[in-house]
Structure 1
């Protein structure tokens, strides 16, 4: 039997957890509510319930274009960062790697710096090199931003693998390329996939870096920001709801992918 103080501590912890969840997710429910009903003079008009705002989003060419740009940027930047993360993790984990620590600093820097600094730096570089701002610069900015996440997960998984796997592969006559293809990459696949989903979440929501390098191109967060300047309409709340639900969905997938899988045992 638990003591009275333990029961009170458990109850207090539960109340605190519930309060935190309410604070975190209240904006989601408010956005969902105001996307289907109207509010005038502080009163909710329940009789105005309608899903028309969601239908109007799909007939809005600027929103569809922004969504298309967001998807293209996210997929390409995640693909680039995932490939680079595996290559860089393999190199820095190599015992004879030169400048591994310095390379890690370069990898983590765009993610650790404030996004406004990273975005401004990319703007200056693109201007000095004469590169026109657009989808290409957005992809570059997002790739640099999410690279640290993909790299960290790939490196952690690589370091957790027993060295006997690689040694056994070499003892059986496999080349470096065969060892990479048939031994290392299959074990890295889950970490790379988890990093890709997490990077996709970050890329989908990124706003500050995109603001500096987007030029005349629009992504979904930028379109939402532009629409909010004229006030909160049901269409804006519908778009906010969709963005929040997609972000939460991707976060749930990441949490599921990162659940403990058990340790890799040496054979």
Structure 2
């Protein structure tokens, strides 16, 4: 028992150290966004929200935010529609064709984003398709599709087949079975998958850089601003992006947590 507690304590210390090593540097821009910085020195006696107010007056950032929201929502809608359809198809059998289709879905998510971006860039160039927000939406959909598909498939496989069989025995059509039996049981998984997909799309940079046109998303705008150095508005923007994506992950975890565990917690 003592050895087990010692191992858990050591693991907790190691986890805390890794967490601090990875995310500790982010504390500097977060804290700096709430204070006046003058000549490289932080004035602790002058707290301010001026940097956050300046973001609301920055047309470039507001345009990038609108583009990011449009790309994220579009990618979520497309990935949910395609991913759910693929999950229903693959769950209906186990032949080689379905397994190969599953491999094709997972491949873009497993490859480095730069490879996916380059592949899409070459593809769009070969078919003479101009780069724009449409190409960004396609790229993000390809990237997040595997995540949505897997989450929906796992929830679908957890459902009892007797529900579907009973629906057919009672005379329901395939569409009625999906709408009245499967969809209510998949809603939580689909909602969690949508939130996670939006979070991934919101933060995606490498694929966006390679397939975007003249319109920038928020991560691209932030990357361009950081090339000139860290300023108060950049620190504020980093803080808001970090807070937003963290909140999205917490919401997704809530949706994806099994109902039994939620009932035990309550």
The residue correspondences of 1:195-210 to structure 2 (distance < 5 A) are 195-210=193-208
Residue number among 156, 166, 169 corresponding to 2:167 in the alignment: 169
Please name the residue that 2:226 is paired with. 228
Please name the residue that 1:193 is paired with. 191
CA contact (8 A) 2:76 2:197 kept: yes
Please name the residue that 2:148 is paired with. 150
Residue number among 100, 110, 119 corresponding to 1:121 in the alignment: 119
Please name the residue that 2:264 is paired with. none
Superposed CA RMSD in Å reads 1.9
Please name the residue that 1:26 is paired with. 24
CA contact (8 A) 1:201 1:247 kept: yes
Measured in 1, the distance between the counterparts of 2:80 and 2:139 equals 14
Q: Is the partner of 1:47 in helix, strand or coil?
A: strand
Q: Is the partner of 1:218 in helix, strand or coil?
A: coil
| Unaligned stretches of 5+ residues in structure 2 | 262-266
CA contact (8 A) 1:91 1:97 kept: no
The alignment of Structure 1 onto Structure 2 pairs a total of residues equal to 261
Change (3 A) 1:56 1:41: closer
The TM-score with structure 2 as length reference comes to 0.91
How far 1:253 moved relative to its partner? 1.3
Change (3 A) 1:175 1:97: farther
Residue number among 243, 246, 251 corresponding to 1:245 in the alignment: 243
The reply to whether residue 111 of structure 1 matches residue 109 of structure 2 is: yes
Measured in 1, the distance between the counterparts of 2:92 and 2:5 equals 51
Residue number among 44, 47, 50 corresponding to 1:46 in the alignment: 44
Change (3 A) 1:10 1:122: closer
CA contact (8 A) 2:188 2:256 kept: no
Q: Is the partner of 1:99 in helix, strand or coil?
A: helix
CA contact (8 A) 1:108 1:148 kept: yes
CA contact (8 A) 1:78 1:196 kept: yes
Change (3 A) 1:183 1:97: farther
